[in-house]
Structure 1
Amino acid sequence: MESHQILSTELGRLLAKHSQVLSTAESCTGGGVATAVTDIAGSSAWFDRAFITYSNEAKMEMLAVCAETLDQYGAVSEAVVQEMVTGALKYSNATIAVSISGIAGPGGGSEDKPVGTVCFAWADVNSWQAVETVRFSGDRCAVRSQAVEYALKTLCDYLTEC
């Protein structure tokens, strides 16, 4: 996607400018953010690794998400993405990370968490942390694409303000 490429190129420039290294922890996007950033030549200078933690077991094993958090709030929750982003920083060489968990559809939604609900968390080693839940529209592909774009844009906005 052209917008992903533009945002990833800008993100790479900003990460390099601020001597930051990115890691991702992704569920519903299935590595879409990692794909977008590694499509950019030279990304090895500012991208460390991706955790694709689609199952709850993967979230617990790879990112140390607590079973109790998953039981209490569900995989698509701000509490879980906060633990995911913390794990991404802990288990990588990154200085900044993003985590994503959501319901891309077409099924899996509920009244409280309809299809298109996506939770994000961002954090860096300098104590910055942000968490947000967004509702996107469209089919599965559209929801995933919008989530990738939103994650990249938020990282760019944060690094621009630094």
Structure 2
Amino acid sequence: MIRKGVKPNVCLVKEVNKAKGIFNTMAQSGVTPDVWIYNIMINGFCKVKMVDEALILFKEMRCRNIIPNVVTYNSLIDRLGKSGRTSLALKLVDEMHNRRLPPNIRCFMQKPSFGRVEDARNVFEDLLVKRYNLDVYTYTVIIQGLV
């Protein structure tokens, strides 16, 4: 692809948009998307850095009373962290906690997720204050990020 002058991300965006078209057609045909279908779409948008589109779907699924699961939250939290939108990512972590979903904070705490050690440290401190159950992996990532 690169030899032909096509960037891989451009192709992925086209594929995600094609999937969104199928998603819309499916809904217009009376097929109600479930949490798994929303997760596929949200994760796809997150992978191609189209987090705002993913958030629109997240809002839509909640309006349809489709309950997000750990996969939904992790996709959004990871991309929001990588996009530097830590306050919204933290809001979703809190929402997970309030819904008694086990927060898989690993994607959120990875050093590359933020690109800035200070953001990761602030998130870590926030999680400690809120008494989240942190595991060895989370502590290891923070220590490695500070070294």
TM-score using structure 1 length: 0.26
- Greater RCO, CA 8 A, separation 6+: 1
| Rg larger for | 2
Q: TM-score, normalization: structure 2?
A: 0.28
> Structure 1 or 2: larger strand share?
1
